[in-house]
Amino acid sequence: MTSLKTDPNIPDPDGFYNELIEAHEGLSDEDSAALNARLILFLANQVGNRDVLRQAIAAAKSPSAT
C-alpha cells in the first residue's frame, strides 16, 4: 500500500504558494472555489491512487492539518 507523503516535497514551496495565490487574484469567491475544485481534480488524477487520495481526504479533515 502506498502512503500519503506528509513531509515537504515541493521544491520552492513559497514560490508555489505565491503562484497559487496569484491564480486567485481578481476572482470572485465563486470563481475561486471553482478554480480550487478543478485544481483538486487535476491533482487527484495525477496522484491516481485511491488509497492515497482517501488518506489525503482524512488528513485534510483533521483539525491538526493546518
**Each residue's pLDDT tens digit, 4-57:** 998 999 999 999 999 999 999 999 999 999 999 999 999 999 999 999 999 999
Q: pTM of this prediction? A: 0.83
Residue 4 has a CB neighbour count (10 Å cut-off) of: 15
Band (65; pLDDT cuts 50, 70, 90): low
Nine cell digits for residue 35 = 478554480
**Residue 55 domain-assigned?**
yes
**Residue 2 domain-assigned?**
no
Query: How many domains, in total, are found in the chain?
Result: 1
**Residue 10 domain-assigned?**
no
For residue 21, the one-letter residue type is: I
**Residue 59 domain-assigned?**
yes
**Residue 39 domain-assigned?**
yes
**Residue 54 domain-assigned?**
yes
**Residue 5 domain-assigned?**
no
Nine cell digits for residue 65 = 492539518
- What is d(CA 33, CA 49) in angstroms, rounded to the nearest whole number? 24
Nine cell digits for residue 25 = 487574484
| Category of 51 on φ-ψ map: left (φ > 0), alpha (ψ -120 to 50) or beta | alpha
